[in-house]
Chains A and B, each alone.
Chain A
Amino acid sequence: MTLFSMPTSRPGRALAATLVLAGLLPARARSAGPSPADRAIAAAEQKLAGNRPDAYVELATAFMRKSRESADPSYYARAAAALDRALALDSDDYDALRTRAWVLLGQHDFRAALAAAERARGLRPEDWWNYGTLADACVELGDYERAEVAAQRMLDLRPGLPAYTRAAFLRTVFGDRPGAIELLARAARAGSPRDPESLAWTLVYLGHEYFATGKLAAAAAAYTRALAVLPDHYLALGSLARVRAAEGRLDEAAALYRQAVARVPSPDLVSALGDVHAAAGQADEAEHEYALVDYMGQVAEATGTTYGRQLALFYADHDRRLPDALRLAEQEATMRGDIYTDDALAWALYKNGRPAPAARAAHRALRLGTEDALLEYHAGLIAAAAHHPRRAARHLRRALGLNPYFDLRQAPIARARLAALDAPARIVLGGKE
């Protein structure tokens, strides 16, 4: 007779106990063990054998967490695949539908995200989640009114970190940075050490708000707190580097940027590192970094992906490949309608010697009354090129007044141009006297 042994583990006997326990423990200093997202992925994978839609939705959600943690965009595609499977099993699965909007946002398919969010909201109008995805999609498409309505509904249904951060962003674009800071502080308070990535993200955002108003010390404090919550967080590293550079501590800035780039080599981090080298007089090193950004653009083209306006701004800022800058900015403008896309288009048009359409785009960028030094700076130079010196001076003065450190490379240019614009007036006045 055949001998046998009874299976020692039934199918489905998950590592639930360990994983639940792990879920209760807050993330500590970065250790080589599995991250919270890794654990979430493992837990979700255990449940796939049942072949039910909710298991795939859980997997998709875990992939999204991983994408945030690691800044690896390939996880968006994985999340999408998992949701496809869930929807293949049940095309009306609500959780899959609402999560799909989120994934589409990550993939920058904003129109599809909007449609998905609306569909989910139609199914469950009382679910706060859908107002989050709606608000996000509307913002990207430039429909700020609708975004405000969605964000308000989210605040009404479920106040907390996700709602506060979105409302904070809208306060910023509507020109109320102190109000944004108030909400972000509240959001940071509501964060949990058991979800360190969200908390760190919020603190970085808070830091940006401080930086945008020239409060370097407060910004640095926020970024440092973010690093305490999630060591090696690349956003925090890059942002802190920017503060150090603004403070003139170029060596520290370079080191921090390098650390950030070692984690996630993104065009703006690499470009910023190049700017630091340039500011320190290290032209060769700077060029090396810029060449890498060029290369990234090449790779992106080769793979049919896009860095969006990051690359357009890089080219325009550094007067390289200006036609590509414009092309990329125009491409972006077909997919998004937010004020920062308008601004990138304006800047690219300006650098390509087309001040009239640039002025129109810059005007659109400032339509909400946002108090943003970079927007003002671009508008200023564009106005100058369009032969409106007084307007130009106004914009430049505003820019420097809002944040004199707004960009390591551009701020000195702004100062110089403002001085030049002011100088003729003095000469005239001096002459009269």
Chain B
Amino acid sequence: MHTRRRYTLAAAGLALGLWAVPAGAASHREAPLMTLDPGADITDVYAFVSYDADNVARPLAERRVTLIMNAVPGQEPGSGPNYFAFDDNVLYVLHVDNNRDGVAEDVSYEFEFNTQVENPDQFLATLGGGPLPPIDTLDAAGLSRKQRYTVTEVRNCRKGGRKCDRTVLFGGKALLTVPSNIGPRTMPQYEALAAQGIYTDPDTNIRVFAGQRAETFAIDLGAVFDTLNLRRPLPAQSAAEDADDTKNPFGFNNFSGFNVNTIALEVPITRLTKDGKAPTAETGTIGMYASTSRQKETVRRGAPAINPKKPPRELLRGEKRFVQVSRMANPLVNELIIPIGNKDLWNATEPEDEGLLLRFYQNLQVADALQAVSGVPVPPKPRDDIVHLLTQYADQKVSDPPFAELLRLDTTVDPTPVDKIRRLGPFAHDADGKATPDMAGFPNGRRPNDDVTDLVVRVAGGKNYIENFVGDGVGIQEKGITPAFPFLPTPYDGRDRKHLDPGE
């Protein structure tokens, strides 16, 4: 017996006009409303005193700091034929606050990309290997699509940002983005190819890299976001397990095998301090964040912006105006602290306005979730400790503004050499539970291999969670620590990539 349903005209005629009408207008009303904007999607931000052997050996005054932003997330390495690139229409900026006023516009670095298709007749964007010459230089003929970029250092902004001192670094030379790692036939010496993408400016000692790298963020994403359904019923680890930075005790790394696009910049610390001198206790702590912005458009070309009763935050770049689309400083703030309904708004605001959102930090819902799921009590609200950790400088009193969501790095702390780096940073301990802190790790800045998931969970959970070494059971990924700039590992190649499933 059929179950029939009736349609009545009153119930609104069915939309059978979905299709674009060849005879006329496109079905613009069916224009997409969901927005994934990978080119503008910042996944991670890192800030640390470079820990390559050379920098460890340098005296404080000559040390360098590396700032990194990752974008274009979740890159499945085998995604031919287009692979991954930065978005030419997005402005990528690293911002630094060096005078502790919470406004990270004292020094900024702007990255702008431009792609040229050199050989439009080439049917594949990248052609090389086999009978053809392999791709072994960044400007190889086989790379028909080349993305170049410029780096501009911005200081001393005044007149509401309309006037700044801008210096184009690297002598205005157009730098080349390192392309995606397609595979061993096309790019047989990928690491050598990628190394060509590290540019050094001999005058300023600034180094830069932009291109594909492997994802170092390790998290049991499925378990964490399945309402903390971690793979051990009580996700506590023993001191010995937790102290072991070579094994993941029980979780599974959902990001295994994925790549990401990286912008890495290494600058001498003196370039960032407010007096331009070697960092001191006074001047050595900087705050930073990364942002992506898109240029402001008008519906009618050439028209002035209509009816901006309350123009949203703009980034001014000379006469061009930009709208901030995404920002990031501390890890997991947007994911775990800011509620869903406020994420877009958060992305469009400035870090120094975080004071408007303090209630989310104070009410730390993720701590409630931890307690609900595990039954182990968390510290009582309001969580001023979280507010202080994420939005204030160390010497600020809890109730005193400014509140700025920035990643803060104390550049006077010596970088930990690679063989001594501990994923838990200041919370590191030995197999007996005795504290053996590595002070150069998150929350003092952030290094690519810091286990921020465990750290955030423990900080959120408080004493009980710290003592029981609670975590998602995933702290490391298979590529380990990269000992040299850009401090992120070679990307997985498109042909041979492997994602490890739970239990493998």
Show the binding face of A for B, using Cβ within 8 Å. Answer: 12-14, 16-18, 20-21, 24-26, 54, 61, 65, 67-68, 71, 73, 76, 94-95, 102, 104-109, 112, 124, 126-129, 132-133, 136, 139-140, 148-149, 151-153, 155-167, 169-171, 174, 176, 179, 183, 186, 189-195, 197-198, 201-202, 204-205, 208, 228, 234-235, 238-239, 242, 264, 266-269, 272, 300, 303-310, 313, 317, 335, 338, 340, 343, 372, 374-375, 407
Contacts and interface: CB of A to CB of B under 8 A. Distances in A.
B33 A133 contact: yes
Given A16-B226, A308-B17, A194 B301 contact: no
B9 interface: yes
B221 A17 contact: yes
B227 interface: yes
A238 B21 CA distance: 10
21 contacts: A13-B226, A17-B226, A26-B76, A67-B18, A71-B18, A76-B15, A139-B28, A148-B306, A152-B307, A155-B296, A155-B297, A157-B312, A165-B31, A170-B299, A186-B89, A201-B30, A201-B31, A242-B22, A268-B19, A305-B13, A340-B25
A105 B29 contact: yes
Contacts of B35: 158, 160-162
A217 to B, nearest CB: 12
A165 B7 CA distance: 32
Given A21-B222, A152-B305, A165-B31, A239 B15 contact: no
A409 to B, nearest CB: 10
A147 to B, nearest CB: 9
Interface string B285-322: 00000000011111111000111100110000000000
Interface centre among A24, A129, A205 (most CB of B within 10 A): A24
Given A17-B252, A176-B301, A191-B36, 9 more contacts: A107-B13, A126-B345, A159-B294, A170-B299, A201-B32, A204-B26, A205-B31, A309-B17, A310-B17
B325 interface: yes
Contacts of B79: 26, 193
Interface of B: 6-9, 12-26, 28-40, 73-74, 76, 79, 81-82, 87-89, 221-223, 225-227, 229, 252, 254, 258, 294-301, 305-308, 311-312, 323, 325, 340-341, 344-345, 348, 499, 502
Contacts of A61: 34
A44 to B, nearest CB: 14
A123 to B, nearest CB: 11
B31 A169 contact: yes
Nearest to A375: B24
Given A17-B226, A140-B29, A305-B7, A171 B76 contact: no
A242 B258 CA distance: 40
Given A20-B221, A104-B12, A14 B36 contact: no
Nearest to A407: B23
Contacts of A104: 12
Nearest to A124: B341
Contact of B16 (A105, A307, A313): A307
Contact of B12 (A108, A151, A166, A238): A108
Contact of A18 (B18, B222, B341, B344): B222
A238 B19 contact: yes
A183 B38 CA distance: 18
Contacts of A94: 341
Does more than half of chain B's interface fall in helix, strand or loop, or is it mixed?
loop
A206 B268 CA distance: 46
A273 to B, nearest CB: 11
B26 A169 contact: yes
B23 A166 contact: no
The 5 A-B pairs of least Cβ separation, nearest first, read A17-B222, A198-B32, A16-B226, A169-B28, A306-B13
Given A17-B222, A73-B15, A165 B28 contact: yes
Contacts of B31: 132, 136, 162, 165-166, 169, 201, 205
Contact of A308 (B16, B38, B40, B308): B16
B82 A193 contact: yes
Contacts of A174: 300
A189 B341 contact: no
A194 B74 contact: yes
Contacts of B227: 12
B225 A20 contact: yes
Contacts of B225: 16, 20
Nearest to A241: B22
Nearest to B300: A174
B500 to A, nearest CB: 11
Contacts of B323: 155-159
A127 B344 CA distance: 8
B7 A129 contact: no
